[in-house]
Amino acid sequence: MTSKPKTAERKRGSGAQFVYSILRDEILDLTLLPGSPIDEIRLSERLSMSRTPIREALVRLASEGLVTTLPNRSTVVANIDFMNLHTFFDAMTLMYRVTTRLAAQFHTPADMAKIRARQAEFAKAVSAQDALSMIATNREFHAEIARAGRNPYYESLCLRLLDEGRRLLRMYYQSFDDQLPSEYVQEHEDLIAAIGARDIGRADSLAETHADQIVRQIQALISRDRRQHIEL
């Protein structure tokens, strides 16, 4: 008996979810660059699907800030506001610090078990050099820390920043050719240790250091001189 193609099974089984996953991964992996148009007709032909699940997927991607609907009703991949990245970096750094401090103060043993589990998943993704999995598991690691802080407002803001920063994190991993140095994985372990010890001051300091090195790496990548130096 001939087995059916896996992609066909996924399409029939998930519909809009399938389209969403495909586009989300291509956007996060920067295969679809910021500002790139998304043609519903071509996408429908490519995936052999009607436009209804495609539109549903685009609505979901828009709600996550990954695509933008223009006044003429066309859809493009959302731009990254490089000119104002400093405001995002300020907010991200502060949120890392606040949520980590609160986790050190209010965590339960169950919280620590979840945080350690998310870190194990992140370390596995790093070992596999799977950038999209690294982005997803890094998000869940920091989200679990935010939940342990017992402040739903900070948790909500943290999740928003983590989601908005996913393409920047892709650039961060690209700067290492997706081979993240072990010391940066260790930074997560150090955060876990400080939280577990309820050392609020050290947790704050480590969170700031963790954010700072990510920011510096992304800034260096953006400002890198890519001119070709030709001897005349």
Say whether both 138 and 203 belong to one domain.
yes
Average pLDDT for the chain: 91
* Per-residue b or e along 170-205, where b marks 16 or more CB atoms closer than 10 Å to that residue's CB: bebbeeeeeebeeeeeebbebbbebbbeeebebbbb
Tens-place pLDDT, residues 179-225: 999 999 999 999 999 999 999 999 999 999 999 999 999 999 888 65
Structure tokens at 24: 């989300």
CATH number for 24: 1.10.10.10
Residues 189, 196: Cα–Cα separation, whole Å: 10
Q: Structure pTM?
A: 0.85
Q: Is residue 230 part of a domain?
A: no
Domain that residue 18 falls in: 6-77
Say whether both 134 and 39 belong to one domain.
no
Say whether both 87 and 73 belong to one domain.
no
Tens-place pLDDT, residues 22-52: 999 999 999 999 999 999 999 999 999 999 9
Say whether both 164 and 218 belong to one domain.
yes
CATH number for 139: 1.20.120.530
Say whether both 86 and 72 belong to one domain.
no
